[in-house]
Structures are given as structure tokens and as C-alpha cells.
Amino acid sequence: MTSIVVTDRNGTTMEIDAYTDRVLMETLREMDDGVAAMCGGMCSCATCHVYVHPDWLQRLPPPDLDELDLLEGLEFRRDNSRLSCQISFTESLAGLPVTLAPDE
């Protein structure tokens, strides 16, 4: 299995199995206190906002303009913010550390 390291909104860090060749959001929304991902990955709602560990950011394809625009509107945006519905998760990203952003 390919796992990721997730820190939830209570600050608890855990290793969980992630779906590969699907977007990261699909794994995160199944967690007990996971992302809402309300628009189902349409890049329309920004309710799957995560912080990617800065050391790993460069390994992800950069966000497109739509994602950047949505991120810009977020109050809790940081330099390492991403929308998890726009991150294709593959085996090469095993061990990816992400933190769930607070609800807006």
C-alpha cells in the first residue's frame, strides 16, 4: 500500500493508506474528520484545502490558474496551500506529508 502522513485539524498526525492514481482529495474525504470536498473535485469550492509539506511542494505539478484563483480567496491560505482535488496521487508520492487546513 502507498501511504501518506496526514495531520488533521486537531493536530493529530497519522499515516493512512491512500488511493493511488486518484486525486488526493478522495483519500482525505474518507477520513473521520476529513475534507468536505463538496464540489466533488470540480475545483469550484475550495473545501479540500490542505497544506503540503514545503519540502514536497516542488515534487507536485504546480497549481493551474483556476486553483490559484480559488486559493487566493481563502482566509487560511499559506505559501504551501493546495487544493487536494487537483493533486493526482501516484506511488511516487508515497509518504507525502499534508495538513488539513481549517474550515473557512
Partner 1 sequence: MSSGPIHSVVIVGGGQAAVEAAVTLRKKSFAGEVTLLCAEPCPPYQRPPLSKQLLAGKIEPVAIALRATAFFERQEITLHLGSRATHIDRVRKTVHTQDGERLPYDRLLIATGATVRRLDLAGAQLEGVHYLRRLEDCLALRSQLQDGARLVIIGGGYIGMEVAATARGLGCEVTVLEMAPRIMARQVAPEISALFEVQHRAQGVVVRCAAQVEKLIGRRHIEAVQVDGETLATDILVVGVGVLPEVGWLDGSGLSRADGIEVDACCRSVDEAVYAAGDVALQARGNGIALRVESVQNANFQGRTAALAILDEPPPAEEVPWFWSNQYDLRLQIAGFPGPADRSVARYYDSGMAVFFLDAADRMSAVQCVSRPRDFMLGKKLIARAQRVDPQHLSDANYPLQELLQ
Residues at the site binding partner 1, with contacts judged by CB under 8 A: 19, 26, 29-30, 32-33, 36, 38-40, 42, 44-46, 66, 69-70, 72-75, 103-104
User: What separation, in Å, do the N-terminal and C-terminal C-alpha atoms of the chain show?
Assistant: 32
- Using only C-alpha atoms, what is the Rg of the chain? 12
Q: Is the dihedral of CA 76, 55, 61, 4 positive or negative?
A: negative
**Least Cβ distance, residue 93 to partner 1 (angstroms):** 19
Q: Which is nearer to partner 1, 54 or 68 (CB)?
A: 68
Q: Which is nearer to partner 1, 63 or 97 (CB)?
A: 63
What cell does 24 get?
488526493
